[in-house]
Amino acid sequence: MDYISSRDTIVSVKASQAIIQGIAPDGGLFVPEEFPQMDLEAVLETAKKGYTALAAYIAAPYLDEFSEEEVQDIAANAYDAGFEHADKAPVMRLQDGQYVLELWHGPTLAFKDMALQMLPHLMSASRRKIGEQARILILVATSGDTGKAALEGFAGVEGISIAVFYPHNGVSRAQELQMVTHVGDNVFVGAVRGNFDDTQTAIKRVFGNAGYAEELAGRGFRLSSANSINWGRLLPQIVYYFWAYACLVRDRAVSTGGPVNFVVPTGNFGNILAGYYAKRMGLPVNKLICASNANNVLTDFFTSGGYDATRPFYKTISPSMDILISSNLERLLFEIAHRDGARVRDWMATLRSKGAYQVAQEYMEEASALFAAGCCDDAQTKETIRNVFESRGYLMDPHTAVAKRVLDDYMDSAKDFAPSVLVSTASPFKFSADVLSALGDVQADADEFELAARLGGISGMKVPDAILKLQDMPIRFKEVLDAGAIEARMLAWAQMQSKG
């Protein structure tokens, strides 16, 4: 399988190169040259052997330069340990026709673990495959959850250093504590003045700076990315769409081949894009419902074909979705443009220069047939958390609650009653203060751990160890940087790492 750039189909590399490079040389994103077609019966059979087996099965055709055994090792290293649920990603019945795919049973309590437990092993296998000698420096911009999941995933992985940047005052207290207490020598964590888009743009600029790459190379480093634009992040995410479907068939919620909707709380468009890829591989997906918070740029896009990031940025109680520039949308644009890289290049150039672009109606037809979209604000999110808890006894984090709200609205208006899977992206204990406040239990002066204990008491859920253990960990990282200072800081850090 070769990978092409979303901006120029002439660029073509193997998976190992796509994963190490992170982004194509022309600034585009790597996409597989075709979508392997899966036999649904075979998928269902494989899923009976468990999540790890299914992950290897789905990933194999995309990684054909690796042996079957190598792919199985990568999947086993990713999923055999670190998840506290035997199903890894269990599917729960919420109510008639609505199911919850819980993607937060990994080490950092958010769905990012599903990909970031696998990416480091993909990267290290790719590094060996291409004979890379340089140490790899991973730069990550995080809206909250990716940072810790990446730190956790790359912990102790040979030949790799990792630096994580998050928006100052832009993540939850639990998210921040998870990052700034992280131990390990190959790790840097910094807060950036500005919001997530500022942070992400700064990191993208570093990747686009060829002179800087040379300077780093002189110090024995090669830059790479663990952000959701990396193909090695997307690939593992395709797996759980097939997995969820297999669970529904197993539980007789759908018959083999029957249509299923997925509703996905969306930020950078990576998660839902993986659902789209699953559909292209033959999964019977009816609708993909894109759920946004008050930063509803994607809702408008799917309604009108206009993508307009020039709008106020809101800090919400679902911070991992506080994004106005959804990088992975570029990969969907590439498909709806019938893989015309020049068209995508135009849209992206207009986005850069004007902050907005318009996709003509002829291109939107296919997207509109498959995608639905909706949004809700913080008040509606909180109301949903409370309603679901009171009526079903099920506790949702704010991101999942946004999806629940959007799903209910969608079912009301579209009268589409196909079984629907809510893709649940975080444990409520990552957002204890807001979840408690949604339940009407406001604790003004309590610290994160008192809040978690209180939430545990009300819900009857056990406070996750991943939260409890933060209590005794010293804060290691306190730097707050300007976005423009990242390059210099990283050069200095790389210097120290290479001496390390």
Ligand X SMILES: *Cc1c(COP(=O)(O)O)cnc(C)c1O
- DSSP codes joined into one string, 155-219: TT-TTEEEEEEEETT-S-HHHHHHHHT---TTEEEEEESS-HHHHHHHHHHHHT-HHHHHHHHHT
φ, ψ dihedrals at 251, nearest 5°: -85, 10
From 6, 17, 117, 271, residue interacting with ligand X (rule: CB under 6 A): 271
Taking Cα atoms as reference points, which of 194, 153, 187, 150 lies closest to residue 171?
194
Tell me how many residues contact ligand X (CB under 6 A).
Answer: 17
Place of tokens 């909707």: 261
Residue list 336-355, contact with ligand X (CB under 6 A): none
Stretch that binds ligand X, among 65-73, 250-258, 259-267, 374-382 (CB under 6 A): 259-267
Burial of 421 from C-beta contacts in 10 A (0-12 / 13-18 / 19+): buried
x/- contact string, 30-69, with ligand X (CB under 6 A)? ----------------------------------------
Q: Does 294 bind ligand X (CB under 6 A)?
A: no
User: Nearest distance from residue 174's CB to ligand X, in Å?
Assistant: 12
Q: Does 28 bind ligand X (CB under 6 A)?
A: no
From 170, 267, 374, 456, residue interacting with ligand X (rule: CB under 6 A): 267
Which residues are known catalytic residues? 112
Taking Cα atoms as reference points, which of 209, 269, 220, 286 lies closest to residue 25?
209
Pairing outcome for strands 98-102 and 91-95: antiparallel
User: Nearest distance from residue 141's CB to ligand X, in Å?
Assistant: 11
Cβ closer to ligand X: 16 or 117? 117
Cβ closer to ligand X: 188 or 269? 269
Q: Where are the alpha helices (DSSP H) in 395-475?
A: 398-414, 432-438, 448-459, 465-468
- What the block records as the tokens of 213 is 């790459």
Stretch that binds ligand X, among 152-160, 263-271, 388-396, 444-452 (CB under 6 A): 263-271
From 321, 388, 406, 421, residue interacting with ligand X (rule: CB under 6 A): 321
Q: Does 320 bind ligand X (CB under 6 A)?
A: yes
User: Nearest distance from residue 403's CB to ligand X, in Å?
Assistant: 9
- Check: CB of residue 33 under 8 Å from CB of residue 61: no
x/- contact string, 362-401, with ligand X (CB under 6 A)? -------------------------------------x--
Residue list 127-146, contact with ligand X (CB under 6 A): 145
Cβ closer to ligand X: 129 or 404? 404
- What the block records as the tokens of 127 is 């590094």
x/- contact string, 105-124, with ligand X (CB under 6 A)? -----xxx------------
From 16, 227, 268, 384, residue interacting with ligand X (rule: CB under 6 A): 268
Cβ closer to ligand X: 245 or 276? 276
- Check: CB of residue 40 under 8 Å from CB of residue 282: yes
Q: Quick one: how many helices (H) and strands (E) in the chain?
A: 22, 16
User: Between vectors from CA 159 to CA 158 and to CA 164, what angle results, nearest 5°?
Assistant: 100
Burial of 53 from C-beta contacts in 10 A (0-12 / 13-18 / 19+): middle
Stretch that binds ligand X, among 61-69, 153-161, 179-187, 266-274 (CB under 6 A): 266-274
From 66, 242, 269, 357, residue interacting with ligand X (rule: CB under 6 A): 269
Q: Does 335 bind ligand X (CB under 6 A)?
A: no
Q: Does 228 bind ligand X (CB under 6 A)?
A: yes
- DSSP codes joined into one string, 205-223: HHHT-HHHHHHHHHTTEEE
What is d(CA 263, CA 228) in angstroms, rounded to the nearest whole number?
19
Stretch that binds ligand X, among 37-45, 243-251, 269-277, 474-482 (CB under 6 A): 269-277
Cα dist from 80 to 75, 85, 105, 426, 498, whole Å: 8, 11, 13, 20, 32
- Check: CB of residue 299 under 8 Å from CB of residue 306: no
User: Nearest distance from residue 226's CB to ligand X, in Å?
Assistant: 13
Cβ count within 10 A of residue 185? 9
Cβ closer to ligand X: 125 or 433? 433
What is d(CA 106, CA 427) in angstroms, rounded to the nearest whole number?
10
Residues interacting with ligand X, by CB under 6 A? 110-112, 145, 228, 265-271, 320-321, 399, 425-426
